[in-house]
A and B are shown apart, each in its own frame.
Chain A
Amino acid sequence: MSTPAPAAAPDPTPAADATEAVVVRGVERIFPGAKGATVAALTGIDLTVHDGEFVSLIGPSGCGKSTLLRLIADLDEPTAGDIRVFGKTARRARIDQAYGIAFQQAGLLPWRSVAANIELPLQLHGVGTTERRARVAELVDLVGLTDFARHYPDQLSGGMQQRVAIARSLAERPSLLLMDEPFGALDEMTRERMQTELLRIRAETGAAVVFVTHSIPEAVYLSDRVVVMSPRPGRITDEIDVRLGDAAERGEDLREDTAFFEGVTAVREALHGPQASPAGAARGVDVR
């Protein structure tokens, strides 16, 4: 990768942006509040997610991390600033299906089987039946639900439902995955298993990921880079490079590695300020 001078940042050519998964520049989102008041959900957001990079957005409730994700997904529009996804406007990227998305609630359609739920985006975009069936078989296998393809969402556990949702988000081989606390409603054990699985899937697909979470260990375990946000108004306060190793090589052992704890401490200090935890001490870390 080239090393552009920082001074050139204000107006890089769109061609340069095209190699980046997401480029957010000077974005602001202000919601109209009660009686003419306004709520600044996001101000002055600058963020670049490189192709194939795993970036977590972390911060307390109300810091606008979900709002930022929704803006990138073009489910909402910024009041100011510019968002590019693979060099296109967010709207164009949504229409072109440049990303796959998963929410905290699996959001499966209860009248469709697991296979039919995963198939939905392909069906909506006119993919042929044979190709659809092959792709669904692949995806069901990828998330380990081959035996459950004909089951209905109400017959699955929360973790399984979330795996279906992830498979659905991958249906059209997007180069960007947007995930809004996808494991937030799961129990701790299921959650850790899903995290490891997500790393494997990500290593297989090579997609860039923007991952919203409020769990420090989750962010550190999964990410190449953790973006720390703070509320009122929502803004980015810090960015921490984690890079614990190749996604494919990360295993459960990593959770007990010193590098992992150092990452947790770094993110924790960025969130709460250095006085919150004595440097180097992993004790007292919020493991949620």
Chain B
Amino acid sequence: MTTTTPATRRARRWHAVLWGVLGLVALAAVWELYKLVGPADGWLVGAQEGVTGSGIRLLPRTSDQAMPHTWEMLVRAAEPVTRAPGALPLGVVVLLAALVSLGVAALGWLLGVVVGFALALLMLGFRIAERAVLPFVILSQTVPLIALAPLIRNWGSRLEFGAFSWESWMSVVIIASYLAFFPVAVGALRGLQSPDVADLDLMRSYAAGWWTTLFRLRLPASVPFLIPALRLAAANAVVGTVVAEISVGFSGGIGRLILETAVAASSDPAKPWSPILGAVLLGLVAAGFVALLAAFLSPFRRQETVA
């Protein structure tokens, strides 16, 4: 057993940050290097001499149109969105949109985790449920998102009781949770079923009931399986949110912003990259949140060494 002192742990954390920054710089350097050496119109393969339009053009083009300089992206992010007076800087607009999407994605994640966990418990409690539900859980993920989005919006808009009315962001939450629940359901079920027969025998010898066994044994034992599932669910919720915003037509989020700025790409090539980077940032924040959660649950992640 190696015990780590706080000093070495702090040094290791700084190393991690350093490597992260270095990775970003390296990525920008590769981008710029390719832009420098690559042909502006991409590579032309198999072209016949004198025949115009022959051959296959291989992307990416390195023109300023297709690959703006990295610093141009940064500069553009600091400039106002439009020439309209009083317009906010693009970067701020992107961050605000990302924040909206983060909220929606978080709700979707939470709903997905709750539903996924409830399904896992159901499948754990009733063997019949496992046989009946699990195939549908797997099948559910084969339905393309694009087909699903209009359906959910349609069904949602018919829901009306009292002052409640269906908002388009709710459709986005549902779609995000639809993608998020799957890894949780599968991961949690595996985790809850992970205790050895000997562990279960022990609980039985203590005359512990189903719920006691769940809380004292199965739940803690499921944590190592649950953390990767939650991380996957977070990534799925973010992707689901961005895509669903576009297909549902919810404006205000980062997905819609990507679509809107893409239209401006020909005249303002650096502009669409800001919301794309915003979406990446969104994913990183979501992953960071799960990492934080994992840190809190770390006592349950000790690996058992078999005698």
In A37-62, the 8 Å CB interface with B consists of none
Q: Flag whether B305 is at the interface (Cβ < 8 A).
A: yes
Task: Find chain A residues with CB under 8 A from B305 CB.
Answer: 153-154
In this complex, the member of A99, A103, A107, A159 whose beta carbon has the largest number of chain B beta carbons within 10 angstroms is: A107
Bound: A253/B301 CA distance, A: 45
In B268-307, the 8 Å CB interface with A consists of 299-307
Bound: A99/B217 CA distance, A: 21
A94 close to B306 (CB less than 8 A): no
CB distance from B279 to the nearest CB of A (A): 36
Q: Flag whether A108 is at the interface (Cβ < 8 A).
A: yes
Given A124-B212, A154-B302, A185-B307, A103 and B201 touching (CB < 8 A)?
Answer: yes
Q: Flag whether A283 is at the interface (Cβ < 8 A).
A: no
In B165-210, the 8 Å CB interface with A consists of 196, 198-199, 201-202, 204-208
Task: Find chain B residues with CB under 8 A from A120 CB.
Answer: 206, 216
Q: Flag whether B1 is at the interface (Cβ < 8 A).
A: yes
In A181-217, the 8 Å CB interface with B consists of 185-186
B205 close to A110 (CB less than 8 A): no
B201 close to A75 (CB less than 8 A): yes
In B52-81, the 8 Å CB interface with A consists of none
B303 close to A73 (CB less than 8 A): no
Task: Find chain A residues with CB under 8 A from B300 CB.
Answer: 111
Q: Flag whether A105 is at the interface (Cβ < 8 A).
A: yes
Bound: A185/B220 CA distance, A: 26
Given A107-B196, A107-B199, A109-B220, A101 and B307 touching (CB < 8 A)?
Answer: no
Given A107-B199, A111-B300, A186 and B307 touching (CB < 8 A)?
Answer: yes
Bound: A146/B226 CA distance, A: 34
B307 close to A154 (CB less than 8 A): no
A106 close to B302 (CB less than 8 A): no
A75 close to B304 (CB less than 8 A): no
Out of B204, B208, B299, name the residue touching A111 (CB < 8 Å). B299
Contact mask for chain A residues 95-117; partner B; CB cutoff 8 A; 1 contact, 0 none: 10101010101111111000000
B220 close to A111 (CB less than 8 A): yes
Taking CB as reference atom, which chain A residue is nearest B302?
A110
Bound: A124/B214 CA distance, A: 12
A109 close to B217 (CB less than 8 A): yes
In B208-267, the 8 Å CB interface with A consists of 208, 212, 216-217, 220-221, 223
Bound: A185/B306 CA distance, A: 9
Task: Find chain B residues with CB under 8 A from A94 CB.
Answer: 204-205, 207
CB distance from A105 to the nearest CB of B (A): 5
B199 close to A109 (CB less than 8 A): yes
Q: Flag whether A79 is at the interface (Cβ < 8 A).
A: no
B307 close to A105 (CB less than 8 A): yes
In this complex, the member of A74, A111, A153 whose beta carbon has the largest number of chain B beta carbons within 10 angstroms is: A111
CB distance from A79 to the nearest CB of B (A): 19
A152 close to B208 (CB less than 8 A): no
A161 close to B220 (CB less than 8 A): no
CB distance from B284 to the nearest CB of A (A): 29
Given A111-B300, A152-B302, A124 and B307 touching (CB < 8 A)?
Answer: no
Given A111-B220, A153-B304, A121 and B206 touching (CB < 8 A)?
Answer: yes
Task: Find chain A residues with CB under 8 A from B208 CB.
Answer: 124
Q: Flag whether A162 is at the interface (Cβ < 8 A).
A: yes
CB distance from A243 to the nearest CB of B (A): 29
Taking CB as reference atom, which chain B residue is nearest A123?
B216
B202 close to A101 (CB less than 8 A): yes
Q: Flag whether A158 is at the interface (Cβ < 8 A).
A: yes
Taking CB as reference atom, which chain A residue is nearest B220?
A111
CB distance from A269 to the nearest CB of B (A): 33
Taking CB as reference atom, which chain A residue is nearest B1?
A155
Taking CB as reference atom, which chain B residue is nearest A113?
B299
Taking CB as reference atom, which chain B residue is nearest A103?
B198
Bound: A70/B201 CA distance, A: 9
B196 close to A101 (CB less than 8 A): no
Contact mask for chain A residues 115-130; partner B; CB cutoff 8 A; 1 contact, 0 none: 0000011001100000
Task: Find chain B residues with CB under 8 A from A153 CB.
Answer: 302, 304-305
A154 close to B199 (CB less than 8 A): no
Task: Find chain B residues with CB under 8 A from A74 CB.
Answer: 205
Task: Find chain B residues with CB under 8 A from A95 CB.
Answer: 207
Task: Find chain A residues with CB under 8 A from B299 CB.
Answer: 111
In A126-174, the 8 Å CB interface with B consists of 152-155, 158-159, 161-162
Given A107-B199, A109-B217, A120-B216, A154 and B304 touching (CB < 8 A)?
Answer: yes
Given A73-B205, A162-B307, A105 and B302 touching (CB < 8 A)?
Answer: no
CB distance from B224 to the nearest CB of A (A): 9
Leading 9 A-B pairs by shortest Cβ distance: A158-B307, A110-B304, A107-B198, A110-B302, A111-B300, A95-B207, A154-B305, A161-B307, A106-B307
Given A94-B204, A120-B206, A154-B303: 9 more A-B contacts, CB < 8 Å: A70-B201, A73-B201, A74-B205, A97-B206, A99-B205, A107-B196, A109-B217, A154-B1, A161-B307
Chain A residues at the B interface, C-beta cutoff of 8 Å: 70, 73-75, 94-95, 97, 99, 101, 103, 105-111, 120-121, 124-125, 152-155, 158-159, 161-162, 185-186
Q: Enumerate 12 A-B pairs (CB-CB under 8 Å) in ascending A order.
A: A73-B205, A99-B205, A101-B205, A103-B201, A110-B304, A111-B223, A124-B206, A152-B302, A153-B305, A154-B304, A159-B307, A185-B307
